[in-house]
Amino acid sequence: MQHDQLLEMRDGVREVEHKCSYRGKRTLDLILGVAILIIAAPLMLVIAAAIKLTSRGPVLYKQTRVGRNERPFVFYKFRTMYEGVDHEVHRRYAESFIRNELAEQAGDSERNGAIFKLAGDERITSVGHFLRRSSLDELAQIFNVLKGDMSLVGPRPALPYELPAYQEWHKQRLAAIPGMTGLWQVRGRCRVPFDEMVRMDLEYVATQSLWLDLKILLLTAPAVISGEGAG
């Protein structure tokens, strides 16, 4: 058999393996996603009521995010900020974080722990502070999982204005479907620099499997309950 035919067969096998892996991941997302939605529905109703009773604006915050292969999608979170606030401050902060400028400006005690979320952000409501500390604002992302825009496990979905600040190797994290949780969330959450977060994402991209997804999901609950690194 000729070399070109062997290469074609090998590529075909890889494509079949990739499709099977994706289908398995999608099946897991749908089964667990529906289960989470059913179990969490009462809590989500309480969250929605608390948001509506304490501040003006919609219950859900919708934002454009960048998914696999730089495909944009509408991202959902429970609203934690006042309506009509300026998001330019976060754009500047995110760009500085990605370029490692925050670590350079920080003191020695913070140099190894640059955080992705702004501290003392006055744009956040009283209920929003609690939702962020407990990560309950992220429960709404289950709708993204059920729609197929996200997975339960994967890299954090990127914001469009982050991409111009990316180095070429950073973009490799966009090869996977973004997730509600991932290696970054269970290992470091907001405490690690951006480059380290990307390295964790690339590790996941290179080794992802259903078993790894299940392991990360099991580790997510203790990480969320402990509140370490939460913004």
Q: Quick one: residue 189, left, alpha or beta (phi over 0 = left, psi -120 to 50 = alpha)?
A: left
Residue 17 has pLDDT above 80, yes or no: no
Q: How far is CA 133 from CA 21, 102, 145, in A?
A: 34, 22, 22
What the block records as the tokens of 151 is: 């997975």
Kind and range of the H or E element at 45? helix 3-54
What the block records as the tokens of 154 is: 């994967």
Sequence-distant (6+) residues with CB within 8 A of 215 are: none
Look at 208 and 106; give whichever has higher pLDDT: 208
Average pLDDT, the chain: 82
HSE-CB of 176 using CA atoms within 13 angstroms: 29
The answer to the question of residue 231 being in a domain is no
Domain range for 162: 25-226
The answer to the question of residue 8 being in a domain is no
Q: Which residue has the tokens 């989470």?
A: 36
Q: What confidence score (pLDDT) does residue 227 get?
A: 59
pLDDT per position as a tens digit, 105-154 = 444 434 444 445 555 577 899 999 999 988 899 999 999 999 999 999 99
Look at 227 and 141; give whichever has higher pLDDT: 141
Look at 183 and 46; give whichever has higher pLDDT: 46
Q: What confidence score (pLDDT) does residue 226 get?
A: 63
> What's the domain count of the chain?
1
- Pairwise CA distance, residues 82 & 218, whole Å: 33
Q: Which residues of 142-169 are buried (b: 16+ CB within 10 A; e: fewer)?
A: bbbbeeebbbbbbbbbbbebbeebbeee
pLDDT per position as a tens digit, 143-194 = 999 999 999 999 999 999 899 999 999 999 999 999 999 988 888 665 678 8
Using pLDDT thresholds of 50, 70 and 90, give the confidence band for residue 49.
very high
Q: What confidence score (pLDDT) does residue 112 get?
A: 42
The answer to the question of residue 105 being in a domain is yes
The answer to the question of residue 2 being in a domain is no
The answer to the question of residue 14 being in a domain is no
Q: How many other CB atoms sit within 10 Å of the CB of residue 206?
A: 10
The answer to the question of residue 5 being in a domain is no
Is-contact 162 70, C-beta < 8 A?
no
The answer to the question of residue 202 being in a domain is yes
> Which residue type occupies 149?
D
- Pairwise CA distance, residues 172 & 69, whole Å: 9
The answer to the question of residue 15 being in a domain is no
